[in-house]
Amino acid sequence: MSETQIEIDNVNAYYIGNHALKNISVRIPKKQITAIIGPSGCGKSTLLKCMNRLIDLTDGITYSGKILIDNEDVFDRKTDIVNIRKKMGLLAQKPIPLPMSIYDNIAYGPKIHGLSKKPDLDAIVEKYLKLVGLWEEVKDRLNSPASQLSIGQQQRLCLARGLAVEPEIILCDEPTSALDPVSSQHIEQQLLKLKKDYTIVIVTHNIHQAMRLADYVVHLYLGELVEHGPANEVFENPKEERTRAYINGTFFADFKVDSELNLKGNACPFNFVYAKQALHTMEEGKILKVIVDDPLAVTEVPRGMEADGHKILNVKQINKTDWQIVIQK
């Protein structure tokens, strides 16, 4: 295993008497993407917020244990938390621009850390907007309010803003859950690009996203650390039954496939339409297996089919490029 960036040691958190994190110990590897997966309310976000102690803003929370970043204990009251937070960029669930212009959103961090010369700030703003691929879209309106950007642009702005304080770590709390598929893909690509320079921790309840991004996986369930390890091991051969069940979806029941449809090589709207047509010819209750290789289809086909009233039984990666989606009419 590679070098450790964040060492989490025996962390416990209690939220108004509720044991939200139970004895979590795990080492987050440097310059890799670590995905924290698990169902809603399992403590994923709590663990993430412990790492930069934003958890302090939550009412009625107590915690214990140790989180070491560069040999400094985040939980130690003597640690300069402002300095620790500077090392970590945060990408929240919903993009939250600051109530300022696009320019000032990026410049805010560098400014509070003592940079005040206009040319330096200009250079930083340009550099990081370019890094997230937003520069071309906004260079003519840097002084307009950040809230006027589209939600996908806002999330990239937030990423750039976090990077502008030159952190070592990027913490992402379900960063794509409020975005449309195209914007989500954009963010995912950014993260993959960034991992050569940054340690990335991403909380996600989207198992497919975790599969696409993660090098290392941490599975939490009801505040317990169920399993952790390199992504390919955990996804292909989970040691724990609970992890296996979670990865395969809750509907991991026996099912008999009545019909199969290979949609490899089709772009998104088409595999959608073909799947729909195939279901149309089938009887109620019959099961269709669809194979796709377009990353968009992996999330969009199930979503669309569910919207049409069909039941998604299983979504699973079957090899490097292909995914199977099992749908019951």
Partner 1 sequence: MELRRIEESIFKALMILSLVIVVGSLLAVIGIILWKGLPVLDIDMLTKTAQGGYYLGKGGGILNAIIGSLYLTFGGTVLAFFLSIGIAFYLQKEYSGGTRLSNITRLSLDILWGTPSIVYGAFGFTVLMYFHMRASLLAGIIVLALLELPIMTRAMEEVIKTVPIELKEVSYSLGATRLETTLRVVSKQALPGLMTGVLIAFGRGIGDAASILFTAGYTDRIPTSLFDATASLPLAIFFQLGTPLPQVQQKAYASAVILLLVILAISITTRILSKKYTKYIIK
Region label for 302, one of left (φ > 0), alpha (ψ between -120 and 50) or beta (otherwise): alpha
- State the nearest-atom distance from the C-beta of 229 to partner 1, in Å: 28
Q: Which stretch binds partner 1 (CB under 8 A): 84-92, 235-243, 250-258, 266-274?
A: 84-92
From candidates 24, 42, 88, 234, binder to partner 1 by CB under 8 A: 88
Structure tokens at 258: 């009545």
Structure tokens at 219: 């599975």
Confirm if 44 and 203 have CB atoms less than 8 A apart.
yes
- State the nearest-atom distance from the C-beta of 182 to partner 1, in Å: 23
From candidates 158, 214, 287, 326, binder to partner 1 by CB under 8 A: 158
| Burial group, residue 143, by CB count within 10 angstroms (0-12, 13-18, 19+) | exposed
Residue 82 binds to partner 1 (criterion: CB under 8 A): yes
Segment holding 127, helix H or strand E = helix 118-131
Region label for 309, one of left (φ > 0), alpha (ψ between -120 and 50) or beta (otherwise): left
Of 23 and 147, nearer to partner 1 (C-beta) is: 147
Q: Which stretch binds partner 1 (CB under 8 A): 32-40, 140-148, 248-256, 297-305?
A: 140-148
Residue 99 binds to partner 1 (criterion: CB under 8 A): yes
- State the nearest-atom distance from the C-beta of 95 to partner 1, in Å: 10
Of 79 and 147, nearer to partner 1 (C-beta) is: 147
Binding mask 237-266 for partner 1 (x = CB under 8 A): ------------------------------
Residue 141 binds to partner 1 (criterion: CB under 8 A): no
Looking at the DSSP bridge assignments, the partners of residue 90 are 171
Distance, in Å, from the CA atom of 40 to the CA atom of 44, rounded to the nearest integer, reads 8
Selection from 111, 200, 188 nearest residue 156 by Cα = 188
Residue 203 binds to partner 1 (criterion: CB under 8 A): no
Distance, in Å, from the CA atom of 126 to the CA atom of 10, rounded to the nearest integer, reads 42
Q: Which residues bind partner 1 (CB under 8 A)?
A: 52, 54, 57, 59, 82-83, 85-86, 88-90, 92, 94, 96-101, 108-109, 112-113, 145-147, 158, 161-162, 165, 171
